[in-house]
């Protein structure tokens, strides 16, 4: 049997940095050094190719254009590898993992995102285990010999998450990620265990590559005292804005401010979708449960159900260019593409 092939792509981030020099500054590690830093890579039952972006980035500098670059790189190598591991900075990893779940649909191979909170050459680094286990996860098979993981996922600190259900909750803990609205896909302890009922099933249709992106959207988080009059003056005549995501209170509630009402009516008349995502990390938008959300329904605001902010933003960017009829946006947004939402 031919040895499986895994492509590891380094986009940037702490995991590929080395603390060196008199001032302790972090500099990128040459990937040839990884086998010296992590000799266990030689023990994995796989042929592992490493590719580093020519200009690795801090993930704070991630852009939609770079999502397209990464998705295209995986798509062009899709038939040459059994799985993919993406080394990525932790700050925007959930955005990128979500974006790729919409750009690369009907996956039948794993795309596993990982990174670290400490550089790879630090004694206590979490990067070594994260990388080794991510590759092991990419090699897992079902009894029929097909890949056990067929989606875009995040592996971090012994936990495996669906990428488009995840957000970063800590900048200091090794346990940096959470997925409160969807169960863990797996855990790595003495053995690696997968939560099979919650993994994406084998796709019926072939891989679909949808790399298009429209980033002309805005995300506004509500807070007591927010000046809707000022926001309305800025937004109501914007020719570029294609969609608005409102981060609302609780189960999807917003104050019945007349200025917000005028703005939402203007968006409805201009066929600009407005999406309702809760600021709460756990739970779902339930429009109509209270009067302060029912009025949003009357203005055709779209429920994002239990989607994360990261998934809502990247999905909106991805499906906007696909919409031929403005009325199709709601249906496409509220239909699960890659397991990103639960319709209730």
Query: Would residue 60 show up in a list of annotated catalytic residues for this protein?
Result: no
Neighbouring C-beta atoms of residue 29, cutoff 10 Å: 21
Query: Would the pLDDT of 49 be above 70?
Result: yes
pLDDT at site 61: 94
User: Which structure tokens are listed for 150?
Assistant: 């067929």
pLDDT at site 20: 62
Least confident span in 4-18, 252-266, 276-290, 301-315:
4-18
User: Which structure tokens are listed for 95?
Assistant: 């955005």
- Give the pLDDT mean for 20-38: 70
Percent of the chain whose pLDDT exceeds 90? 83
pLDDT at site 247: 99
Taking CA atoms, 101 is separated from 45, 71, 95, 96, 288, in Å, by 27, 9, 10, 9, 30
- Give the pLDDT mean for 76-91: 97
Can you give 240-264 as a three-state secondary structure string?
CCCEEEEEEECCCECCCCHHHHHHH
Helix (H) or strand (E) holding 192: strand 192-194
- Give the pLDDT mean for 47-61: 92
pLDDT at site 326: 81
d(CA 221, CA 292): 16
- Give the pLDDT mean for 132-154: 97
CA 50 to chain centre: 22
pLDDT at site 16: 83
Map residue 130 onto helix, strand or coil: helix
Percent of the chain whose pLDDT exceeds 70? 96
Query: Would the pLDDT of 297 be above 60?
Result: yes
Per-residue pLDDT reduced to its tens digit, 173-231: 999 999 999 999 999 999 999 999 999 999 999 999 999 999 999 999 999 999 999 99
Neighbouring C-beta atoms of residue 262, cutoff 10 Å: 14
pLDDT at site 47: 96
Dihedral over alpha carbons 215, 221, 227, 228 (to 10 degrees): 60
Query: Would the pLDDT of 277 be above 80?
Result: yes
Query: Would the pLDDT of 1 be above 70?
Result: no
Sequence-separated (6 or more) residues with CB below 8 Å from residue 97: 111, 113, 152, 153, 154, 163, 164, 166
Domains along the sequence of the chain with CATH: 4-209 (3.40.50.1170), 217-334 (3.40.50.40)
- Give the pLDDT mean for 65-91: 98
Please pick, among 14, 114, 133, 166, the residue that the annotation labels catalytic.
Answer: 14
Query: Would the pLDDT of 276 be above 60?
Result: yes
């Amino acid at each position: 049997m031919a040895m499986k092939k895994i492509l590891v792509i380094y986009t940037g981030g702490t995991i590929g940095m080395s603390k060196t020099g008199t001032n302790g500054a972090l500099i990128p590690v040459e990937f040839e050094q990884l086998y010296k830093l992590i000799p266990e890579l030689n023990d994995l039952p796989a042929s592992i190719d490493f590719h580093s972006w020519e200009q690795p980035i801090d993930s704070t500098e991630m852009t939609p254009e770079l999502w397209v670059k990464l998705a295209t790189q995986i798509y062009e190598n899709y038939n040459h590898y059994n799985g993919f591991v993406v080394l990525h900075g932790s700050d925007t990893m959930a955005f990128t993992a979500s974006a790729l779940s919409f750009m690369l649909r009907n996956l039948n191979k794993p795309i596993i995102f990982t990174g670290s909170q400490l550089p790879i050459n630090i004694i206590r680094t979490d990067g070594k285990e994260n990388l080794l286990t991510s590759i092991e996860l990419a090699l897992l098979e079902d009894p029929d010999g097909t890949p056990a993981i067929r989606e875009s996922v995040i592996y971090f600190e012994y936990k495996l998450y669906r990428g488009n259900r995840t957000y970063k909750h800590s900048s200091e803990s090794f346990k940096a990620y959470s997925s409160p609205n969807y169960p863990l896909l797996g855990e790595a302890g003495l053995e690696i265990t997968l939560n099979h009922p919650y993994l994406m099933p084998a796709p019926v249709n072939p891989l679909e590559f949808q790399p298009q992106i429209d980033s002309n959207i805005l995300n506004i988080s509500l807070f007591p005292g927010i000046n809707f009059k000022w926001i309305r003056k800025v937004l109501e005549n914007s020719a570029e804005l294609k969609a608005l995501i409102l981060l609302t209170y609780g189960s999807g509630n917003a104050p019945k401010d007349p200025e917000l009402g005028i703005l939402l009516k203007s968006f409805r008349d201009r066929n600009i979708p407005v999406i309702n995502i809760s600021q709460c990390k756990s739970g779902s938008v339930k429009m109509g449960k209270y009067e302060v959300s029912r009025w949003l329904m009357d203005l055709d605001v779209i429920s994002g159900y239990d989607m994360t902010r990261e998934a809502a933003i990247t999905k909106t960017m991805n499906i906007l260019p696909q919409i031929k009829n403005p009325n199709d946006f709601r249906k496409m947004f509220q239909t699960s593409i890659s397991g990103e939402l639960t319709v209730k």
